[in-house]
Amino acid sequence: MFMFCVFAVTDLVIIGIFYAVYGTRRKYSEGTLLGVHLPQSAAESEEVTAFMARYCRNTKIFYSVNVVISTAICGFCFWYFSVFMIVWSVWLLEFCIGAMVLLYGTHRKLYDMKVEKGWIGSSGSRIMAVDTKAAVQSGRMGLSALWHLLFCALILMPCIDADIRHYLVMSDDGWIFPVTGILVSFTFGILHTVILRMRNKVYSEDSDLNVEINRMQKNVWSWALVGSSLFNAAAYLVVVSGLDADGEIGAGMLGVYCIMETIPGFFMIGGFFYMRSRKEKLLRKNDRPLYIDDDVYWKNGWYSNPNDRRLMVQDWACSWNYTTNMARPAGKIFMFLALLFVAACLVWGCVQIWKIDFVPIELNISGKQVVITSGYSDYGIACDDITGVELLDSLPDDDYRKINGGEDQHKMLGRFKGENTGKCRMYLYTGYTPVLEIMTGDGPVYVNSKDPQETEEWMREISVNIAESS
């Protein structure tokens, strides 16, 4: 049920963001309609109005259908999670590709209409415009990206404490928090640097207006990123300060950490909406707009301009995004590698989860070691480390919390921690008995088979092996 809710909400958020960014680009603004430069008279003509009405209808149908499909797919969460992940991955690909085809396909049709009708700039443009005043002031826009180094240093600061250092070294997963924190701050810092180095956009013949809009955007972005990085560092410091005597993080502290790590999301989204609203207000004062018609380079949806030396350019569809200049070989390679990476991640993730669901749990004794294999991980126990073996009617009654692994209605795999049992490992088919308990120095290991006789056989083999070892 939990995963159903998580993915249902996630899907709605994905669809909502896509719709907000790509699905609502229907208004004529800054001399363009759907990314195509048109005179206002053309944008208001009957033909274009009817064309846009059809596009609006198709967009609404596409997004509505995907809301229904994505919610229905989440029903697979109640069956095998791996099956759900495969179906969900296919849906995600369909949705992303479909949204892009819908947008860029319509953009291309509108561009073709513009060329056919001979509207302004339809012969293409090779003009680059630069505002010298905005360029001079580039270095004075926004906060310095060096603030992120300070926040990285704040995350490293607790390492001064010997107890913290000991915890980070000895703990299996305690290093995750500081490493994640530093990576996040580092990523914000790189994003911050890239944004400050973005070329200024020319909106008007009025240089002061260009400076004001570009400065506002860079200021908002830099404040949002610095604030996000600060909360990221603060979240880690709160968690470290809340470590108990056993070096554990309580649920309450974890909750505070999650809340604090969510705040950057609000900064970014809030910053985006503020920037958009402020930019619209400023552009209303623009009585000398400057439009550079470069539609010919965008006609296929992606940017392809052999005369432009830049590798990355701002996307017309979403100013947050950058796209590659596909006229450059490096652009093609980068795009190919990025797509390959995404595809590889999706395939790898699905394979790993498939293994968890369908690779059987097995126990073998090899030499002086008991080896438990499963779709999650393999675990070897030296016979000398085994202090006891017992066949239980069921898993001891306790409140188990998963530390690392997989848990659903079919299996419990990985490392867990019980209130009374303490740290333990489980390789269990849920609902199957008996359960073999192997006591070790690192805590108990619980393992079973779907066949009770096989579990009993494991018990006998291990007992014989222990007796022979002693």
Partner 1 sequence: MILKIDMAGSIPIYVQLRNEIVKGIGRGELAAGENLPTVRQLASELGVNTMTVSKAYQLLKTEGFIETDRRKGAVVSSIPDRGTAGDAAAERYMDRLGDELELLSAEAKLRGLKREDFLKLCEDAFAEMGV
The residues binding partner 1 (CB under 8 A) are 126-133, 135-136, 138-139, 197, 199-200, 202, 205, 207, 290, 307-310
Nearer to partner 1, 137 or 171 (CB): 137
305, 321, 323, 301: which is closest to 313 by C-alpha?
323
Host H or E run for residue 369: strand 369-373
- Cα–chain center distance at 404: 20
Asked whether the beta carbons of 111 and 299 are under 8 A apart, the reply is yes
Are the C-beta atoms of 238 and 181 separated by less than 8 Å?
no
Indicate the residue among 199 and 417 with the shorter CB distance to partner 1: 199
H or E element, residue 414: strand 411-418
**Least gap, CB of 224 to partner 1 (angstroms):** 23
User: Residue 31 or residue 264: which is nearer to partner 1 going by CB?
Assistant: 31
| Token code pair at residue 360 | 């059987």
User: Please, what is the angle between helix 207-241 and helix 251-284, to 10°?
Assistant: 180
To partner 1, the closest distance from the beta carbon of 329 in angstroms equals 17
377: Cα separation from own chain's centroid = 25
Q: Give pairs for 394-399: CB < 8 Å, separation 24+.
A: 394/433, 394/434, 394/435, 395/426, 395/428, 395/435, 395/446, 396/420, 396/421, 396/437
Task: Pick between residue 206 and residue 362 the one whose CB is nearest to partner 1.
Answer: 206
Determine contact, residues 192/221, Cβ cutoff 8 Å.
Answer: yes
Beta carbon nearer to partner 1, 127 or 245: 127
Whether the upstream peptide bond of residue 158 has omega within 30° of 0, thus cis, is no
Residue closer to partner 1 by CB (options 128, 342) is 128
For the CB of residue 205, give the shortest distance to partner 1 in the complex, in Å.
6
Nearer to partner 1, 110 or 202 (CB): 202
Residue 31 CB, nearest approach to partner 1 (Å): 15
Closer to partner 1 by Cβ: residue 139 or 367 = 139
Helices (H), 359-444: none
* C-alpha dist (Å) from residue 287 to 35, 121, 150, 213, 381: 21, 20, 43, 14, 77
Least distance to partner 1, CB of residue 147, Å: 22
Residue 401: what are its φ and ψ, rounded to 5°? -115, 130
State the minimum distance, in angstroms, from the CB of residue 131 to partner 1.
Answer: 6
Q: How far is the CB of 412 from partner 1 (least distance, A)?
A: 56
Minimum distance, C-beta of residue 80 to partner 1, in the bound complex (Å): 51
